[in-house]
Amino acid sequence: MNLDELNNLEEKELVDIFEQCCSARRWFKLMATSTPFQSTRHLEDTARLHWSVMEQRDHLEAFDGHPKIGDPASLKAKYAATHSMASNEQSLVEQASDKTIVELADFNQRYEDKFGYIFIVCATGKTAEEMLALVKTRLHNPPEQEIQIAAGEQLKILLIRIQKLLA
């Protein structure tokens, strides 16, 4: 899809498109009412601006739209709305050893137990070993710091997905 095609979609279609980029309802509804976009840069800047006004409940709603890192079954079963955008984001995890996958699952569970939401990281281009190191490090963060880090990772993810829209 190109920018002109995106700008000519009806609001309901835009809602559906932007929901694939981020499952925070407030964000994708704001995006759907922000057309027309003058350029790709304008689209990305608008996405950043709308994300910057999201509150913790919006962040948590967005985080809930992700599969657990290393858990492709949850990608298929629970996250159909974002499946087409998210399908390749964890592709390097498939190359990891069984030991690394098990350890990643363990630390993901520890993270979720501590913070109340799944570990959010922009997985594109990262190996399972890199993500394992990140979750181990971030597990030590205080909750108020960690939610801000996770929200920053979510922004990276949604911007990558917006780029995929126009590819």
Spell out the domains of the chain, with CATH numbers in brackets. Answer: 68-150 (1.10.3330.10)
Q: Which of 39, 46, 104 is nearest to 72 (CA)?
A: 104
The tokens describing 160, both together, are 């990558």
Highest mean pLDDT among 82-86, 97-101, 144-148: 144-148
Q: What is the mean pLDDT of residues 69-84?
A: 49
Average pLDDT, the chain: 88
Q: What is the mean pLDDT of residues 84-93?
A: 50
50 and 21 Cβ atoms separated by less than 8 Å: no
In the prediction, which pLDDT does 145 show? 98
**Which sign does the torsion angle of CA 165, 48, 18, 76 carry?**
positive
In the prediction, which pLDDT does 36 show? 97
The tokens describing 62, both together, are 């967005």
The model scores a pTM over 0.95: no
Q: Return the DSSP state at 53.
A: T
Instruction: Give the separation between CA 72 and CA 83, rounded to whole angstroms.
Output: 10
pLDDT confidence tier of residue 94, bands split at 50, 70 and 90: low
State percent of the chain over pLDDT 70.
84
Residue with tokens 């993901």: 108
Q: Name the residues annotated as catalytic.
A: 66
Instruction: Give the separation between CA 126 and CA 93, rounded to whole angstroms.
Output: 8
| φ, ψ for residue 131, nearest 5 deg | -70, -35
